[in-house]
Amino acid sequence: MSFSKQTDILVIGSGIAGCAAALAAARNDASVMIVTKATEPSDASTDWAQGGIAVTGNNPESFREDIIEASDGEAHPEAVDALVDNARGVVDDMLIETLEIPFDGAAPKASLDAYDRGREAAHSERRILHVNTTTGEHILRPFLAHLQSHDDVEFVDNAMALELLTHEGRVHGTSVLRDDSVTSIFAGATILATGGVGACYETSTNPEGATGDGIAMAALAGARIADMQYVQFHPTAYPGDEPFLVSEAVRGEGAVLRNATGDRFMPDIHPDAELAPRDIVARSVAAERNRTGEVRLDVAPVDPNFDRAFPGLTDRCNDRDIDLDAGIPVAPAEHYLCGGIAVNTDGKTTLDRLYAAGECARTGVHGANRLASTSLLEGLVWGRAAGRKASQVGIDDITSIETTSPLDRDPALPASFVDDKYRRLRNTMETAVGIERTNTGLSEARSTLRRLKGEVDAYTRTRVSQPLYELRNATICGLLITRAANDAPSAGCHQIVDTETTESTVGETIADD
């Protein structure tokens, strides 16, 4: 069964970037529809964010310098200016005045400078607003509640966007799978805010639904995709059963990394030691684990009352019987994609009436490595900009456009099909496209992923299901990451550790693979 709906602004995704875009558009009297796979807030990466949100203090120039240095010099100056120049205004507007987020250190709706500021890796000063180590959920849940009470905003949850609807070079919405029905949702403008690509890797700090949907849909529609080689690995994730992120804020407050022999190793690697840029710390932790067998985060220097300083983290450790006196076992895990759908400072993509914000967008602000606690800020700044710009676009009479979706004409998928393909994808990405890469490994991974994409495509031509389309999207993203890594010199979190050269493939599209 297929039918259609219409709205001024279609937002795909319900994390902080999607919420900011929806609020900005609704404030401009646009009708907004939010389509999301989520059924609860924890399905979005925003809800998992621990450390906090960076804001400009008395020295904006130092914030710019920190972003550029952490990016290995690859950040785009105009994007950095957009982030820094809008930081205080967007946080004050949306988080403090509108949502009254209870940041630590002062009452809600206090002056921005009244709140406590934390420090994290590669920051030269304390500028991180936070709520304990559960900042993301304290932002996202009030944001969703605020939008759900807004007259101009409609939520379509437990729904998956399948394909962008395009006509004569313009994006007019998307087809959506919900309750075994495919709906065409037409819109004056479409904003992708679908998050990251954690599903491509065996170990990730992302929720399960981070399958790169927006990036894959945009790539298939012909949008420019950029900097996919820059996949950031967080250096301190608990590697045991039920893994979890150990916030960088803990190192910002004095925790140190020790190897299996108890030696602190980071001071010998970088002058900022544990507060070096994430890519450097992640590679160092991986190397020490390989050399000595284990790395632990020693939290003894933090605070004699660690449980009071970090109650959420203490609870996670207690739930897993981790002895805090012995330190928290840590290992790198895939964390954040710095590349994605190429956008300008308004969130506009290379396709007409298509915008993107948040982790799925490549704004250029992160360059080759993201500075800690800038992801929530980026989502706010570009989400608000995209919502404002998109709401200025009128809606065409486009409901007569013919749309097609695959039909389940063939028998159901083999029971293990999706799981088996994910295993191949993740093993390939973890082995060849991880913290350190070789040209030979990337070339072999690329061939493997091309074959995998062909196998998945053979099923998506005739079947519609959420697991199958998520697999398709993750496979496309894995291929885009691998292909970009195969063609790019080392920088930041993309490191080639051999000197072989490979044939350039600049100019290929996803269809070529």
What gap in Å lies between CA 146 and CA 116, rounded to an integer?
A: 25
Q: Which residue has the tokens 């396709």?
A: 351
Query: Which pair of tokens denotes residue 501?
Result: 């050269």
Please pick, among 119, 127, 278, 296, the residue that the annotation labels catalytic.
Answer: 278
- Tell me whether residue 278 is one of the annotated catalytic residues: yes
Q: What H or E segment, with its residue span, contains residue 226?
A: strand 225-226
Nearest alpha carbon to residue 143 among 51, 21, 43, 52 = 21
292, with CB counted inside 10 A (0-12, 13-18, 19+), is middle
Q: For residues 71 and 80, what is the distance between their CA atoms, to the nearest angstrom?
A: 11
| Count, residues in the chain | 513
Q: Residue 187: which H helix or E strand, with range? A: strand 181-192
Nearest to 360 by CA among 507, 162, 227, 484: 227
3-state class (DSSP) for residue 348: strand
Left, alpha or beta for 327 (phi > 0: left; psi -120 to 50: alpha)?
Answer: left
Neighbour-count burial of 40, counting CB atoms closer than 10 A to its CB (0-12 exposed, 13-18 middle, 19+ buried): exposed
Among 298, 369, 430, CA closest to 72? 369
3-state SS, residue 218: helix
Place of tokens 């558009």: 25
Catalytic machinery residues: 278
